[in-house]
Amino acid sequence: MSRLDSFIRRLTAQRDILNAIAGEVEALDGPILELGLGNGRTFDHLRELFPDRRIVAFDRAANAYGPSMPEAGNLVLGEIKDTAADFVGIGAALAHADIGTGYEDKDAITLTWLPRIMAGVLASGGIAVSGLPIDHPQLDALPLPPSVKPGRYFIYRRK
Ligand SMILES: C[S@@+](CC[C@H](N)C(=O)[O-])C[C@H]1O[C@@H](n2cnc3c(N)ncnc32)[C@H](O)[C@@H]1O
């Protein structure tokens, strides 16, 4: 599969999952955390899905397209491993992480801390959506929408 096809499938999976879980997230209290703001496309989609919800975005640097830049209080810059640790216990309804690199060695390092962060920021019943598989005893895997091939993107519910 070309990298273009792979990219399109990853983003389609991400959008289809976020659309599929939106109703469940609506029913939960708590903010939404976007780990890996990037260009801000997913942040913009989250804003459309959850217009009344606080959405806090994290990245190393502010590189989002201007209109998709979160306001200052909802943009946290630095290494997610460190910055998101301050949000453990916030009781998020949804945490989405799109921070995979495609490099196995780099992603393996991310996975030494990401599961603890994802489980830690969520409320009980909160939803984790991730491009990397998350293995944590407090997170139960949820079924994917039919359009998403298993292994392409991942959904979990916090116990
Ligand atoms: C694939 S992009 C996210 C794309 C985003 N979903 C969008 O709509 O544009 C991943 C982003 O996460 C950031 N990132 C990855 N790992 C990170 C880390 N450990 N700490 C901080 N930022 C990180 C990168 O700087 C990059 O901007």
- Reported as a single tens digit per residue, the pLDDT across 31-85 is 999 999 999 999 999 999 999 999 999 999 999 999 999 999 999 999 999 999 9
Q: Which two tokens stand for residue 22?
A: 């939106």
Residue keyed to tokens 């070309």:
2
User: Mean pLDDT over all residues of the chain?
Assistant: 97
The CA dihedral of 43, 47, 52, 58, to the nearest 10 degrees, is: 10
Q: Which residue bears the tokens 């801000």?
A: 40
Separation of 60 CA from ligand 1 center, angstroms? 7
Distance CA 63, CA 105 (A): 25
Q: How confident is the model at residue 107 (pLDDT cuts 50, 70, 90)?
A: very high
User: From ligand 1's centre to the CA of 25, what distance in Å?
Assistant: 22
Q: Which residue has the tokens 């949820």?
A: 142
pLDDT at 75: 98
Q: What are the φ/ψ torsions at residue 92 (nearest 5 degrees)?
A: -70, 145
CA nearest neighbour of 125 among 88, 159, 87: 159
pLDDT number for residue 105: 98
pLDDT of residue 118: 98
The residue to mutate among 10, 32, 47, 59, having the most atoms of ligand 1 within 8 angstroms of its beta carbon, is 59
Which domains are assigned to the chain? 3-158 (3.40.50.150)
90-119: average pLDDT = 98
- d(CA 157, CA 159) in angstroms, rounded, equals 6
- The stretch 81-102 carries a mean pLDDT of 97
